[in-house]
Structures are given as structure tokens and as C-alpha cells.
Amino acid sequence: MPTVCLRFRFPEQTKVRRLLEACGSILRQAVDYALDHHKTATFSIIQALYASCRAQYPDLPSAWIQSAVRAGAAVVHSFRNRQRRGKTQAERPALRRPFVYVRKDMFKMEWDGRTLTVTFPVTPRDPEAVVLSFRPHHGYARLLDAWKAGKATMGEPTLTPNSIRPSLIYRRRSSG
């Protein structure tokens, strides 16, 4: 079992909704820019859009802007692969809901055996970071126990308006 994606739903929170409204707008700009200028490299899209996004959202930390642009580049990359394989006839990808990747240094996960607590700030020195608590079912609890025991590492979670999806990457067993 190399990688497992977990999904935790939570009730809508104002801070998360506002963050994802801004990130969703940046994501759409990144997708439009990438398709119009035939770009897929995250760096070149960030380089082209960062100044305008910074001016448009002066209070949004640069880490969230870069994560939203990176999500847009991933959407375009996936869409182009589907086009190449003939799995879509659309000219542009349909963005159903905004999402953003949460960098590993921006969030903290704690597992005590019963409750998973995910904490991430919206701004760098946010006095009230977003704290989400979950009581996962036994299948997820088993996977989180393996993560706590060091048998897996945590990947970057994907944040949507009402869910967070961390992935667990299992380490290979050493042959001995």
C-alpha cells in the first residue's frame, strides 16, 4: 500500500471560506493564464501572476498565493493529459469547487489515538489559527496509528471549503 488519501469533512467555517474564495479566484486566473499562454510550469505561472495577485489580495500571505497557482498548474496539467488521451472534448477544464494545497510547514497534525487535530494559520502570525478536530472511523484510525508509529509520512493535504484530504505515504520495508 504505497499512498492512501484520507478525507475528513468539517462544517463550513468563515475563515476557510474566505481563504478559499481568494484562492479560488487565483486558481481560475492561473488556469486561464496557463491555457492562454500554453504554460504548465508552476514557476513561470507564479512569475507571471504573482504581482497582480499580490495587488488584488494584499492581505493574503504569499504561501497561499503560490499554493493556489500551483493548484491551477496541476489542474491544467491533468486537463492536458486527459485531452491528449481523448478523454475530454472540452476546451477548458471545469472547476467545480476551489481547492488549495496546504504546505507541510503551514499545518500541524496531532493524533492521540482517538482524535485527529489539524491546525493551520490563515496568516503567518494568526492569533486564532483554524483548528479542525475529527474522530475517524476504525479504518482511518488504523492508518493514522501506522503514521504515528513512523511507518508512513504525511503528504500535503488538499483543502476544500468543507473537507481536508491528507495523504499518507508508506515507506518501503527494508529487506533484511
- Domain positions in the chain are 3-11+100-170, 15-84
**Cα pseudo-dihedral 27, 30, 36, 42, rounded to 10:** -130
Start-to-end CA distance of the chain, whole Å, equals 19
**Complete DSSP assignment for 9-65:** E----HHHHHHHHHHHHHHHHHHHHHHHTT---HHHHHHHHHHHHHHH-TTS-HHHH
C-alpha cell of 72?
A: 491551477
pLDDT band for position 174 (cuts 50, 70, 90): low
pLDDT at 2: 77
* C-beta separation of 27 from 88 below 8 A: no
Tell if the pTM clears 0.95, that is, is over it. Answer: no
Q: What is the mean pLDDT of residues 9-19?
A: 93
pLDDT tens figures, 72-122: 999 999 999 999 999 999 999 998 899 999 988 888 999 999 999 999 988
Q: Is residue 37's pLDDT more than 60?
A: yes
Rounded CA-CA distance 56/38 in Å is: 24
**Sign (positive/negative) of CA torsion 13, 17, 23, 28?**
positive
Give residue-wise pLDDT tens across range 128-169.
899 999 999 998 999 999 999 999 998 889 999 999 999 988
Q: What pLDDT was estimated at residue 126?
A: 78
pLDDT for residue 7: 92
